């Protein structure tokens, strides 16, 4: 009996041990399959995505380009809007205020010569720069013909006569002379006049007189405008004093 009992115990132990080994192998197999399954799933998803991309490759490319162009368009609009905000419209008069002009004043003034003045300066400003009128200045002529409030053009020339000089030079009484030399009845030939003769014209200084000489010959008085030698204001003032012959 004791022997039989020991045999049964042995069999029971062996059975339990075999069962434990089988269970361990079963668990190991299931664990390995479980670990491999995600890899298989990942591979399956990867292949599906790759196939989907290949199938819709053209559509995806067009969509990607569309996104790029959309971003570029938005960037361009923002840049354009910022640029427009920086643009300032400046009136023409304001843009010219930064320039200086040169004006010549001769005759009966304290300090005759060429002066640099701000754009928009008046005849009176030039008189002040020259130190004012001398004692010999013909004040009656000045009161009659010199407009001190008139604006000066670049290259303008003013001649202030001494007493009695205006009568000797046959000044045209009643003309709209202001800031001008004593206008003579004899006209100046722009095709043959010397620099000194041209220099006596209103608004014509030495530099402009030289331009007139350099651009000869002239077929018409208006050539002074078309060749951009005189501006319209100066031309209108002196055109009746000019001739071609």
Residues 70 and 132 both lie in one domain: no
pLDDT confidence tier of residue 13, bands split at 50, 70 and 90 = low
Determine contact, residues 243/212, Cβ cutoff 8 Å: no
Tally of domains within the chain: 2
Residues 140 and 228 both lie in one domain: yes
Domain assignment present for residue 172? The answer is yes
Lowest-confidence region among 12-16, 17-21, 39-43, 214-218: 39-43
Reply yes or no on whether the pLDDT at 126 is more than 90: yes
Tokens of 70: 């959309």
Average pLDDT score over residue span 191-210: 88
Domain assignment present for residue 92? The answer is no
Domain of residue 214, residue span: 102-243
Residues 12 and 133 both lie in one domain: no
Residues 79 and 112 both lie in one domain: no
pLDDT confidence tier of residue 11, bands split at 50, 70 and 90 = low
Determine contact, residues 191/244, Cβ cutoff 8 Å: yes
Reply yes or no on whether the pLDDT at 171 is more than 50: no
Tell me which H or E stretch contains 159.
strand 156-160
Residues 7 and 116 both lie in one domain: no
Helices (DSSP H) in the chain: which residue ranges?
A: 2-55, 57-86, 92-96, 123-129, 139-145, 165-168, 195-198, 206-214, 223-226, 232-238
Looking at residue 215, which CATH number applies to its domain? 1.10.150.320
Domain assignment present for residue 96? The answer is no
pLDDT digits (tens, 9 = 90+) for 82-99: 765 554 544 444 444 457
- Residue 118 pairs in a beta bridge with 100
Average pLDDT score over residue span 125-132: 92
**Domain stop point among 29, 56, 86:** 86
Residue in the block written with tokens 């007139």 = 212
> Which of 154, 159, 236, 153 lies closest to 199, judged by CA?
159
pLDDT digits (tens, 9 = 90+) for 39-49: 555 556 766 77
**Domain stop point among 21, 52, 86:** 86
**Domain stop point among 86, 118, 153:** 86
Residues 154 and 38 both lie in one domain: no
What is the reported pLDDT for 61?
72
Mean pLDDT of all residues belonging to the chain: 75
Tokens of 109: 């003034």
Residues 134 and 212 both lie in one domain: yes
Domain assignment present for residue 97? The answer is no
Cβ-proximal residues to 182 (8 Å cutoff; 6+ apart), any chain: 159, 161, 165, 166, 169, 170, 171
Residues 110 and 192 both lie in one domain: yes
Residues 48 and 153 both lie in one domain: no
Domain assignment present for residue 133? The answer is yes
Distance of CA 191 to the CA centre of its chain: 41
Domain assignment present for residue 60? The answer is yes
- Residue 231, number of CB atoms within 10 A of its CB: 15
Cβ-proximal residues to 112 (8 Å cutoff; 6+ apart), any chain: 105, 106, 130
- Classify 109 as helix, strand or coil: strand
How far is residue 231's CA from residue 153's CA, in Å, rounded to a whole number?
Answer: 9
pLDDT digits (tens, 9 = 90+) for 19-77: 667 666 666 655 555 555 455 555 567 667 777 667 667 776 777 777 888 888 888 78
Residues 129 and 201 both lie in one domain: yes
Reply yes or no on whether the pLDDT at 161 is more than 50: yes
Residues 71 and 110 both lie in one domain: no
DSSP-derived letter for residue 99 is -
Residues 23 and 136 both lie in one domain: no
How far is residue 51's CA from residue 56's CA, in Å, rounded to a whole number?
Answer: 9
């Amino acid at each position: 009996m004791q022997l039989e009992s020991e045999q049964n115990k042995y069999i029971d132990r062996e059975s339990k041990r075999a069962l434990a080994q089988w269970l361990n192998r079963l668990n190991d197999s299931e664990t390995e399959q479980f670990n491999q399954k995600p890899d298989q799933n990942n591979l399956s998803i990867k292949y599906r995505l790759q196939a989907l991309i290949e199938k819709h490759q053209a559509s995806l490319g067009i969509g990607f380009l569309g996104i790029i162009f959309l971003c570029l368009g938005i960037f361009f609009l923002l840049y354009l809007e910022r640029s427009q905000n920086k643009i300032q419209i400046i009136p023409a008069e304001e843009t010219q205020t930064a320039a200086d002009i040169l004006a010549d004043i001769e005759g009966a003034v304290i300090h005759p010569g060429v002066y640099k003045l701000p754009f928009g300066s008046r005849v009176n400003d030039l008189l002040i720069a020259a130190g004012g009128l001398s004692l010999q200045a013909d004040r009656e002529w000045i009161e009659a013909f010199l407009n001190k409030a008139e604006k000066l053009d670049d290259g303008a020339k003013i001649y202030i006569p001494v007493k009695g000089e205006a009568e000797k030079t046959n000044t045209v009484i009643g003309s709209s002379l202001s800031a001008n030399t004593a206008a003579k009845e004899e006209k100046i030939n722009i095709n043959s006049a010397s620099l000194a003769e041209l220099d006596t014209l209103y608004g014509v200084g030495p530099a402009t007189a030289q331009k007139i000489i350099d651009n000869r010959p002239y077929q018409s008085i208006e050539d002074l405008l078309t060749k951009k030698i005189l501006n319209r204001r100066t031309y209108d003032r002196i055109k009746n004093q000019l001739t071609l012959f």
